[in-house]
Amino acid sequence: MRGKSAVLLVGFLILTGLIGCRSGDYEAKLAPEEEKFLSEVRYLITAEEQQAFRRLSAGERSKFIEDFWRRRDPDPETPENIFRDEYYKRLSEASRLFMGEGREGWLTDRGRIYVLYGSPSDRQYGPLTRDAYGRCQEVWYYGNFPVVFIDTACRGVFVLATFDLSPIENLSLIRLASPPSGKRTRAPGVYVNFDVRVKKRFAHETEFDGLVEIEVPYSAIWLSAEGDRLKTTLELKMELKDSQNIVRWEHQSRYDISLTARELGEKKDKKFLVEVPIRVSEGAAALKAGRNKLEIVLRNLTGKEQMTKIVEFTLGP
């Protein structure tokens, strides 16, 4: 798939190169909607594509826009283009989240990172996050990796201070359009985030019976193409410790996910649910005596993303 896209792109650039030769270096004035397109796709479009677009006639530019998105469509056989839809969804969300810097929210540094890497797993801001120089800062965490934005005057204008983003490059939205080894696909999102709840069903001195519920948005699950299906495996590990840090319960399991592209589109706003029962006999009294910690590690074996969450709870009345 990737090779086919590359051939289409090269062929298109050759064609536009011939048009450029025919008309010299002349670049026609763009219509407002065409300038808007170039502005909105600034995080995606290559220099060669932009130059080719400006040299086309008005009629040819509309075809270019159509082909631009088709080349980035993870599954061009379906009517939906999940890459384009996700991209514009993030532009809209960034505009809403980061207004107030005198420009569209998606044009700010925070907006750009949000569009390209998605929502962080944790976002820290406020008076307690000032750096050693007293400057206001906002810190986003993608897993364990911090992305720092500095507001030197504390007036609400944040500038990216983390220049090496290579540790989270595998989370980049662009990888959805250009996945490794030509395997086109993953879900619209880019991070294996999840929600977790611990439910107490029964607890006394000799036994604890509970339930762990984990919900993973389908939009956050990487998938690889295998034939006409999109597949991955989620690996789940859990460890329950009492207040003395002694392990009282462990669990490990794998969950296979297999969808067609259409099924994925239907589930993009839904969540994959995992329910794991907890039963502790030996050590139940220790769990009831203090504050317990349940560590959950979820790993996607396709994209190698991993996230760890810790839930603290008591078994008191």
Write out pLDDT tens, residues 65-99.
Answer: 988 898 888 777 788 888 999 999 999 999 999 98
Neighbours of 305 (CB within 10 A): 22
Neighbours of 182 (CB within 10 A): 13
Q: Give the pLDDT confidence score for residue 317 in this predicted structure.
A: 62
Distance CA 93, CA 91 (A): 6
Q: Give the pLDDT confidence score for residue 192 in this predicted structure.
A: 61
State whether residue 314 is helix, strand or coil: coil
Q: Give the pLDDT confidence score for residue 265 in this predicted structure.
A: 78
Q: Give the pLDDT confidence score for residue 2 in this predicted structure.
A: 37
Q: Give the pLDDT confidence score for residue 127 in this predicted structure.
A: 61
137 bridge partner residues? 150
Q: Where are the domains of the chain?
A: 2-71, 82-178, 195-313
Average pLDDT of each block of 10 consecutive residues along the chain (317 residues)? 36 34 52 94 88 84 88 80 92 93 94 94 76 82 92 90 89 68 40 78 81 87 78 93 93 94 82 93 86 90 75 80
CATH number among 2.40.50.140, 1.10.10.10, 2.60.40.10, 3.40.1740.10, domain 195-313: 2.60.40.10
State both tokens at 86.
């996700």
Nearest Cα to 198, choosing from 82, 292, 72? Answer: 292
With a threshold of 0.75, does the pTM exceed it? no
Q: Give the pLDDT confidence score for residue 233 in this predicted structure.
A: 93
Nearest Cα to 291, choosing from 270, 268, 311, 266? Answer: 311
Q: Is 98 exposed, middle or buried (0-12, 13-18, 19+ CB in 10 A)?
A: buried
Q: Give the pLDDT confidence score for residue 303 in this predicted structure.
A: 61
